């Protein structure tokens, strides 16, 4: 049985997708509003975390 590996994005990838600066992305990570993991010192954000973040922002705005 194989399971799909979740797509992991770099901070610059997330910056481009959310149209945010580097500091803001790290602020979202620090405040735990955006889920991330560290792999040997490299910060990675699961693609699903971006969707969760955006949906949460939409929900808050409603």
pLDDT per residue as tens digits for the range 13-57? 999 999 999 999 999 999 999 999 999 999 999 999 999 999 999
pLDDT, residue 13, reads 97
11-16-21 Cα angle (round to 5): 65
DSSP per-residue string spanning 33-60: SS--EEETTEEEEEHHHHHHHHHHHHHH
């Amino acid at each position: 049985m194989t399971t799909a590996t979740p797509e992991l994005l770099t901070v610059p990838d997330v910056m481009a997708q959310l149209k945010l600066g580097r500091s803001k992305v790290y602020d979202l990570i620090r405040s735990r509003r955006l889920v991330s993991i560290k792999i040997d010192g490299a910060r990675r954000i699961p693609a699903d975390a971006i969707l969760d973040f955006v949906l949460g922002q939409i929900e808050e705005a409603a």
